[in-house]
Structure 1
Amino acid sequence: MRTDFHNHLEKGTLTLDYLKKFTEEAERKGIDHFGISEHAYHFEETKEILSNPWVNERRWYTMEEYVNLFDQAKEEGINVLMSIEMDYTPGKHKEMAAFIQKYPFDYVIGSVHWVGDFGIDLAEYRKEWDKRDVKDVYKKYFDQIVTLAESNLFDIVGHIDLVKIFGHVPDDREFLIGEYERVTNAIKESKTCVEVSTAGLRKHVGRIYPEPDLLKMCFEKDIPIVLCSDAHEPEHVGYEYDQAVRLVKEVGYTKVMTFKNGRREEVELT
């Protein structure tokens, strides 16, 4: 069973023709469970949840357009799940919950991209890393991963250690292990799965999310996983899937989670 739940249409259009480029690539690569999870900040309906100058320039769609696209896909018998990737926003739990509950998502991904006004994974903010204490950024980032899990609003936490994207990693292993412990302790008490994402292999860091030490903790605490590519282009669907499979099997995983209509099911990993 192969899965890829984290994919984006934002570089193209919310049209059936463009969607088919992704679903056809998923079919070609033998992906059984495939979903689109567009960034929530692109939609007008989320402006009360997350708003800043960078995000506001990219408020392109309405949820009516998005839902209609998946209705069309269903009518044509296209095998695709509807999701959203929402920026977890501290202090906006009520608003996030209302948005999530309003639409028929098959599953919802929660991610952290902002530490205050610092877009940690954005090229425009990359020089900011030189002005900040790396351990402080990591702590604040993982603070949000903890409260994301505690909110129990999300089915999946996306790219759980995205904070390493530009290769900035504290040289204090004890500190890192402590951060991994507290985030996995929070996740194991929630409904949240952890995404194993090959997107990091396409980034400066050149590594899968999460780090093996973090993934091992997830396994030891019986936290379920999903495999994803975070494709923003059709050709990246299922990107380096075999590397992800090798990693999770080395750690000990034999099953992955799947989703449909807000319900989840664990299936054998192949």
Structure 2
Amino acid sequence: MLTDYHSHLEKGTLTIDYLKQFVDTAKEKGIQEFGISEHAYHFYETKNIVSKPWMEERRYYKMDDYVNLFKRADQLGMDVRMSIEMDYTPGRHAEMEAFIKAYPFDYVIGSVHWVDDFGIDLAEYRKEWDRRDLYETYRSYYDQIVTLAESNLFDIVGHIDLVKIFKYVPTDQEFLFEQYERITNALQNSKTCVEISSAGLRKPVGRIYPEPELLSLCYKKGIPIVLSSDAHEPHQVGENYEASIKLAKEIGYTKLMTFKDGERKEVQLG
């Protein structure tokens, strides 16, 4: 069994024809469990959860249209899961929970893309890395990963070490290991799985999320995994999966978590 639970329609349209391009690519690549997880900030219904000027310029969907797209896909016999990628927002747990419960998601991804008003993975903010304290940024980023896991609101944590995207990485390995220890301790006590994301291989860092040392801690602490590509275009579905599968198996993983209708089931890793 292979999964790809992290993908986005945002570069196209919320239409069956565009969705089908993603689903067809998943089938061609032997991915049995495929899901769309559109960014929550695109939807008007999340304005009370997170609102930044950068997001407001990109808020143009309605949740009813999103839900109806998947209903139509189901009527057509299209096998695709409905998810959302929520920007984890400290202090908005009640609002995030209400939103998640309001819609029939098969699973929900929680991710950290912002440290205060710093969009850590956005090209527009890249120069900020040279203006800020690297260790403070990393600590603040992982503070949010900890509370994301502790909230127990999410089924999957997206690209858990996204903070490395532009190759700004602390040289102090002890510091990094401390961060890895505390986030895996939090994940160990939550329902949240970790995704092995091949997306990092097409980013400036050129490395899978997460780092092998972090994934090894996840394995030792019994934290389940899923496979994802973070595809933003149909051809990116299942991209570089050979490397992700190789890493998972080298670490010791033999199983994946799958999701449907909010229920989870562990299956053999293909």
TM-score, normalised by the number of residues in structure 1: 1.00
| Secondary structure of 2:121's aligned partner | coil
- Equivalent position of 1:84 in the other structure: 84
Distance 1:37 1:128 in 2: 28
- Per-residue deviation, 1:264: 0.4
- Equivalent position of 2:182 in the other structure: 182
- Equivalent position of 2:153 in the other structure: 153
Q: Deviations over 1:119-176 (max 9, x none)?
A: 0000000000000111110000000000000000000000000000000000000000
| Secondary structure of 2:108's aligned partner | strand
Trace 1:203-214 onto structure 2 (pairs within 5 A): 203-214=203-214
Trace 1:90-101 onto structure 2 (pairs within 5 A): 90-101=90-101
**Runs of 5+ consecutive residues of structure 2 not aligned to the other structure:** none
| Secondary structure of 1:107's aligned partner | coil
Distance 1:166 1:49 in 2: 27
Alignment-mate amino acid for residue 124 of structure 2: E
Distance 1:256 1:141 in 2: 26
Trace 1:133-152 onto structure 2 (pairs within 5 A): 133-152=133-152
- Equivalent position of 1:223 in the other structure: 223
- Per-residue deviation, 1:246: 0.2
TM-score, normalised by the number of residues in structure 2: 1.00
**Runs of 5+ consecutive residues of structure 1 not aligned to the other structure:** none
Distance 2:135 2:172 in 1: 9
Distance 1:147 1:85 in 2: 16
| Secondary structure of 1:84's aligned partner | strand
- Equivalent position of 2:263 in the other structure: 263
Distance 1:48 1:153 in 2: 17
- Equivalent position of 1:8 in the other structure: 8
- Equivalent position of 1:22 in the other structure: 22
2:173 matches 1:173: yes
2:233 matches 1:233: yes
Q: Deviations over 1:159-199 (max 9, x none)?
A: 00000000000000000000000000000000000010000
Alignment-mate amino acid for residue 102 of structure 1: A
Distance 1:133 1:252 in 2: 35
Distance 2:249 2:26 in 1: 22
- Per-residue deviation, 1:44: 0.2
Distance 2:167 2:266 in 1: 33
Q: Deviations over 1:100-130 (max 9, x none)?
A: 0000000000000000000000000000000
2:32 matches 1:32: yes
- Equivalent position of 2:196 in the other structure: 196
Give the root-mean-square deviation of aligned CA atoms.
0.3
Distance 2:2 2:62 in 1: 31
- Per-residue deviation, 1:262: 0.2
Trace 1:65-76 onto structure 2 (pairs within 5 A): 65-76=65-76
Name the % identity: 70
Runs of 4+ in structure 1 displaced over 2 angstroms? none
Q: Deviations over 1:72-104 (max 9, x none)?
A: 000000010000000000000000000000000
Alignment-mate amino acid for residue 193 of structure 1: C
Q: Deviations over 1:36-74 (max 9, x none)?
A: 000000000000001010000000100000000000000
